[in-house]
Amino acid sequence: MATMHDVARLAQVSVSTVSYVLTGTRPISQATRNRVLAAMAELDYQPNAMARGLASRRSRILGLLMPMDERGLGATETAFVTGAAAAASAAGYHLVLSPVGGGNLDDLRRLASQRMLDGVVLMEVQLADERVTVLQEAGVPLVLIGRTGDTSTLSYVDIDFDQTVREAVAHLVGLGHRRIVYVNHSAATLASGYGPALRTRDAFTAAMTGHGLEPVMIAAEDSAAGGRAALAAAFARTPELTAVLAMNETAIFGILGELTGRGLSVPDDVSVVSMVTSPQVAELATPALTAMTSPGSALGRIAIEALVRHLDGSAVDRHQQLLPCALEVRGSTAAPRSRQPMGADQ
């Protein structure tokens, strides 16, 4: 691979002159510039991202800030990343994934101050998300995948949780279910102000009330054990339950396991709908899960495209868009059949 020294040697100029041609930090005669550019073309010299960034005052690097725990990324989260990465590449940018959460504000301030990122897309957004304030104060352009409580000055794309939950509940009610329990994320996640957990909680209450039904929500830890415990709690509160709606991909397999352990069949005894789920995850279960399929790839793509328009100066106004999940009926939902109510000890 050709280096800057190779270019300087072929063009018969100093290395610093090649640097000045790349960065534009000093005037260079057109004749000298032409010799340097000709040498670069002959050697197929590719200036690195830092050199190009100095010339344009851009790094051509975008950040995707996505908090992660020891579980890493599942298939549903990966769809957001792949959609964003493809859009960044198509626009001539590199995408860097950084696991910066609300508890790492000092790390985020350091990252913002280094000016290595032209802009960022923020994921796993809380209603009062301090990361937004840090980035705005640092002057870093940003787009959210998710929404804070006040979005008046922000660009975002997000799932339309109201429509998604409304359609999921309507599907179950249309099959004849009246005792439906919603398994959400953990109590700690709700208390932290995590937007999807709070918005789906409220949307479930509104949807069930709209059908004249009692809304019952159970918070579950993000684990298979959490799913088993959540289902036990659900039966304790609603022994006659015939359907479970869940937005907790890690817990969903614990829910299914607990149903099997209680001698209950899906969907004959209990129907199950998984919300904000990828087809890959839905089809891992037996039977395959009826799901509200996440538009993750589209959200990742749209967020990057909105950010690039802002960086290029072609954005007329803030970009604010909601996309619902799509109902995909598989084998885990059916009309309820009568059975004896089950208590928590069964």
* Confidence (pLDDT) at 175: 98
Residue 136 falls inside a structural domain: yes
Tell whether 257 and 302 lie within a shared domain: no
Full 3-state SS string of 16-43:
HHHHHHHHCCCCCCHHHHHHHHHHHHHH
Expressed as residue numbers, the domain containing 244 is 161-293
* Confidence (pLDDT) at 323: 97
For residue 222, give the nearest of 200, 190, 244 by alpha carbon: 190
Residue 340 falls inside a structural domain: no
Tell whether 134 and 197 lie within a shared domain: no
Residue 237: CATH number of its domain: 3.40.50.2300
Tell whether 166 and 241 lie within a shared domain: yes
Residue 331 falls inside a structural domain: no
Residue 131 falls inside a structural domain: yes
Non-local (6+) Cβ contacts of 129 within 8 A are 102, 122, 148, 193
Would you give the end-to-end CA distance of the chain in angstroms? 69
Residue with tokens 């009692």, as numbered in its chain: 214
Tell whether 170 and 155 lie within a shared domain: no
Tell whether 70 and 148 lie within a shared domain: yes
Instruction: Give the C-alpha separation, 178 to 343, whole Å.
Output: 18
* Confidence (pLDDT) at 234: 97
Tell whether 107 and 15 lie within a shared domain: no
Q: What size, in residues, is the chain?
A: 346
Cβ–Cβ < 8 Å for 308, 86: no
Residue 107 falls inside a structural domain: yes
Tell whether 280 and 202 lie within a shared domain: yes
Count the domains in the chain.
3
* Confidence (pLDDT) at 312: 85
Is the previous residue joined to 287 through a cis bond, with omega within 30 degrees of 0?
yes
Residue 29 falls inside a structural domain: yes
Tell whether 67 and 86 lie within a shared domain: yes
* Confidence (pLDDT) at 344: 45
Tell whether 27 and 76 lie within a shared domain: no
Q: How would you write the pLDDT of the chain (346 residues) with one tens digit per residue?
A: 778 888 999 999 998 888 878 766 678 888 998 899 899 888 888 766 555 555 556 678 999 998 876 666 777 888 999 999 999 999 989 999 988 776 778 888 888 887 788 999 999 999 999 999 999 998 999 999 999 999 999 999 999 999 999 999 999 999 999 999 999 999 999 999 999 999 999 999 999 999 999 999 999 999 999 999 999 999 999 999 999 999 998 899 999 999 999 999 999 999 999 999 999 999 999 999 999 999 999 999 999 999 999 998 876 789 999 999 999 999 999 999 875 555 544 5
Tokens coding 332? 């885990």
Tell whether 248 and 216 lie within a shared domain: yes
Residue 333 falls inside a structural domain: no
Instruction: Give the C-alpha separation, 111 to 135, whole Å.
Output: 10
Task: List the beta strands (DSSP E) in 149-289.
Answer: 156-159, 180-184, 216-219, 243-246, 271-277
Residue 300 falls inside a structural domain: yes
